[in-house]
Amino acid sequence: MKLKLAILPGDGIGPEVVREGLKVIRAVCARFGHELACEEALVGAAAIDAAGDPYPEATHKLCMESDAVFFGAIGHPKYDNDPSARIRPEQGLLRMRQMLGLYANVRPVSALPSLVHTSPLRADLVEGVDFVCIRELTGGLYFGRPQGRSEDGLTAYDTCLYSRHEVERIVRLAFDYAMRRRRKLTVVDKANVLATSRLWRQVAGEIAAEYPGVETEYMFVDNAAMRIIQSPRSFDVIVTENMFGDILTDEASVIAGSLGLLPSLSAGLHTSVYEPIHGSYPQAAGKNIANPLASILSAALMFEHSFGLHDEALAVRKAVALSVERRTVTEDIAAGAASFTTSEVGDSICKLIAEA
């Protein structure tokens, strides 16, 4: 099979983790006999510096023409600390999601048995956790209009907007995921306060009637935030709106022990995007210490979802699990033991894939 990928390293540690993910993709293609074609493009702060645009037209064209997008991270402190900045790197990410129609962000949450001790949660809470968060990605507060500040600068406002169509398509996707898993879906909202959440709950209830084989529960977001910590094994599939999903999935990362361990898939109308859930972590950029496992596991998601290559995805996951078991890990999950560099972890996983 021929795989055509758009490579968007982005900012901060993005280029370093993407480099290792791409290294692993090449190792898998070599082992299984696939032809790989890659082209790199700019996004985020790097694109602003080079082209004055966080998501240039050339980058979008490449994404549309590719089978999948392999993405790093976006963000730079010089924009974070400048409230007057007219263009920000994050605008590139939002535009990419909007222009590619990426309405669904899928984030699997689990803990490798050999890393249970790295989680701040007790081992008896973490062991056996396996759930999926499905976050609506192109609506809500992040895209709502109007948005802005008053003329005197003393008042700011954002608007949370959702249409029935937006809610229905993401909820149906979540039910389909639940049907392929343990047949339980948790719809997370704030329906006691927010009109948009009441729309979510209404639409979810109507669709639930079409899936009698799925146990459907409804949970306020504050309760869900507590339950993810108190009883994470009680979840199978979670579906929620954009901002709630953003917060809850970052919270859920502590179950695995590090933000550097969780991959994600953003799917929708056009080309799917695969990326680690962590940010650009600029403090670590260029130091070769960032954890590449989330990027590498995102490659496993890519093989599975964009190409239907399940054996290839399994090969990546097995190599990651074995490498971690042998304690070839970066400092964030070394727990005081000897640690390895970003590139050494990538090399270890490539070697395991080649030898399997």
Out of 11, 103, 190, 236, which one is annotated catalytic? 190
Query: Is 190 annotated as catalytic?
Result: yes
Task: Please name the residues in contact with 315: beta carbons below 8 A apart, sequence gap of 6 or more.
Answer: 28, 31, 32, 353, 356
Distance CA 306, CA 4 (A): 11
- Concerning whether 184 is annotated as a catalytic residue, the answer is no
The residue annotated as part of the active site, out of 49, 53, 158, 250, is 250
* Encoded tokens for 341: 């560099």
| Residue (of 97, 6, 102, 88) closest to 47 by Cα position | 88
- Given the residues 142, 162, 211, 274, the one annotated as active site: 142
Cα distances from 271 to residues 107, 162, 166, 202, 351, in angstroms, run 17, 23, 18, 30, 30
Name the amino acid, one letter, at 56: P
Helix or strand run (H / E) with residue 171: helix 164-180
Annotation says 103 is catalytic: no
Which tokens belong to 234? 């009680």
List the catalytic residue out of 61, 222, 287, 311.
222
Q: Which of 189, 236, 246, 347 is catalytic?
A: 246
Burial of 26 (0-12, 13-18, 19+ CB in 10 A): middle
Active site residue 142: yes
In the residue annotation, 246 being an active-site residue is answered as yes
Q: Which of 198, 179, 180, 178 is nearest to 190 (CA)?
A: 198
What are the structure tokens assigned to 343, written together? 């590139």
Adjacency order of strands within the sheet including 130-136: 35-40, 2-10, 68-73, 273-276, 263-267, 104-110, 130-136, 237-240, 184-189, 215-220
Angle ∠(183,188,191) on CA atoms, nearest 5 = 130
Supply the residues annotated as catalytic. Answer: 142, 190, 222, 246, 250
